[in-house]
Amino acid sequence: MHDKQHAMRHTAAHVLAAAAQRLYPGVKLGVGPVIENGFFYDILFPSPIAEEDLEKIEREMRSIIQEGHEMIREELSMDQAVGLFAQKNQDFKVELLRDLREKGTTKINADEAQDIDVEHPDTASVYHTGDFVDLCRGPHVSSVKEVGAFKLWKLAGAYWRGNEHNAQMQRIYGLCFETQEELDQYFVMLEEAKKRDHRKLGKELDLFVFSDLVGPGLPLWTPRGTLLRNKLDEFVWTLRQARGYQRVEIPHITKKELYETSGHWDKFKDELFKIETREGHIFAMKPMNCPHHTQIFDRKSHSYREMPQRLANTTMCYRDEQTGELHGLSRLRSFTQDDAHVFCRESQVKEEAMKIWDIIETFYGAFGFKLRLRLSTHDPEHMEKYLGGLDVWEKSVSGLKEMLVERGADYFMGVGEAAFYGPKIDFITKDSIGREWQVATIQVDRLQPERFNLTCVNEAGEKERVVMIHAAIMGSIERFLSNLLEHTAGVFPFWLAPEQVRLVSVGQDHIGFVQTLLNQLVQAGIRADVDISNDKVGKKIRDAATSKIPWTIVIGAKEVEGGDYKINVFGQEEDVMIPSAELIDRAQQASKLPL
């Protein structure tokens, strides 16, 4: 997002708040940050508003824009700012200011940091828009008339500061672009996205379900969905196995001491599901796997001749996400990582990272995903967010840059986007309707080996510190599937489809042959099913198309007598003719992994 667009969207958020305050006296304002494609504002209304009220608020916003107010910045001392917003009964603003003054930046999250200047905790900036004033660090356009094309988009619930024990507010989302044409194009994309929503497709294709009795953010997988997950995992494992990885398995809980040693407890203890045993010990449901894997590596002394050690593990992880932040398969409380960790010597880091890179390119290339790369680094101005010293971080970043250059990769920098224990290369893909998603990562970690004292014995018989490379290919199988479902609109390639072939009987006389052919296909490893109902053939074909079955074969008298099979291939206008003797071989060829 370029600077003008960011400033324009930030100003639009102020105009929204000003309009809400005019129409609903007594509103309490939360925060109004810029987000991708627009902005939002969290507001506590005297009485909750409805979706149909957005049009009225939008009209008021347009009136304010017509008034042409300048965006006037004013610097206040912290005490003056607290007094100003206390006088206006804006309790949430006062809380933010007091938290910054009394508790420092650790209590201010990323969205709040757009409204409050954490770089200068002794002062606060406000912006005047006519008679409306709001706490904000800026930047803004010079006048409200410079706000481009916008539209209030949707209404959602949001707890103040993301805490379910705080006030329940209403979040108004707005879209904002420089031109009406850009806004219109985005709405076309949104309509297409609705059709491709993975939650809708998951239900239509019978892949997964959520149960109120099990709980939000905890998906249950049907037989079809489980086939899909397993096939994806098999693909990744096949790529890893060819490069010397070994499977391991770990428990789903651990003593908190493991995460205290790794540093995860201090960083993420509020996001962990905790268990207290009858003996008073504290355990946690694992939110990640790397600390467990360090203990497998550290079970014995390793000679340099045994290095590297490549450990792979597809396993469930758990995080105590806020209910309001859960979204289909893309934000969950339980998710499955196709995780792997390489323990290697310094001299082996580049070669091992390049192997991971090869796996990533092969995997995502199989689905038509184009990748671009981000080098996610530490923020040198805020090293308190990371483990280890600046010299270690600079060494790790330099090594990743060297790999990027050697690979001839086009990449951009993501300062401050690193994991707390090391920098990473993030692979970002764009789906078929133009949305970007972060997918795989390669993370080089010199800090976990230090904290866990992980070594190998080198040629001189001395202990040598190892390096740990984190490498999830899908990252989360669930999140990858949400992206894949929406990218493909649920049309899976033959090798991946949960049901590859649907056999349709024309009449009762053909059912016996259909059942025999089904058995032959299944025995040959093809995922096939039949429709031998009394419905008309046209309806059976339409039902198969609704389920997006790759091949549908109608079986009538000609096929029973040994004639060629006419294959209705999903998404193709013309049928494909396959001689009866070649059907199974052709299906097996189409079932092979795209290695």
Residues with a known catalytic role:
290, 319, 337, 339, 341, 424, 470
- Report the chain's terminal Cα–Cα distance, integer Å: 36
* Of the candidates 469, 236, 505, the residue with the CA atom closest to the CA atom of residue 348: 469
Burial of 523 from C-beta contacts in 10 A (0-12 / 13-18 / 19+): exposed
**Is-contact 288 243, C-beta < 8 A?**
no
Long-range contacts of 511-519 (CB under 8 A, 24+ apart): 513/555, 513/559, 513/560, 514/555, 517/555
How far CA 199 is from CA of 7, 106, 119, in Å, comes to: 34, 35, 41
Residue 146 and residue 331: Cα distance in Å, rounded?
Answer: 36
Residue 236 and residue 218: Cα distance in Å, rounded?
Answer: 24
**Is-contact 336 225, C-beta < 8 A?**
no
How many degrees, rounded to 5, is the angle at CA 471 between CA 469 and CA 473? 170
The pair of three-digit structure tokens given for residue 188, joined into one six-digit string: 């076309």
Phi (first) and psi of residue 500, to 5 degrees: -90, -35
**Is-contact 149 183, C-beta < 8 A?**
yes
Burial of 516 from C-beta contacts in 10 A (0-12 / 13-18 / 19+): exposed
Place of tokens 């009987």: 505
Residue 541 and residue 416: Cα distance in Å, rounded?
Answer: 53
Residue 309 and residue 374: Cα distance in Å, rounded?
Answer: 27
The pair of three-digit structure tokens given for residue 135, joined into one six-digit string: 């706490």
CA 209 centroid distance within chain: 19
Strand order in the sheet with 565-569: 528-531, 501-505, 551-555, 565-569, 576-578
**Is-contact 485 498, C-beta < 8 A?**
no
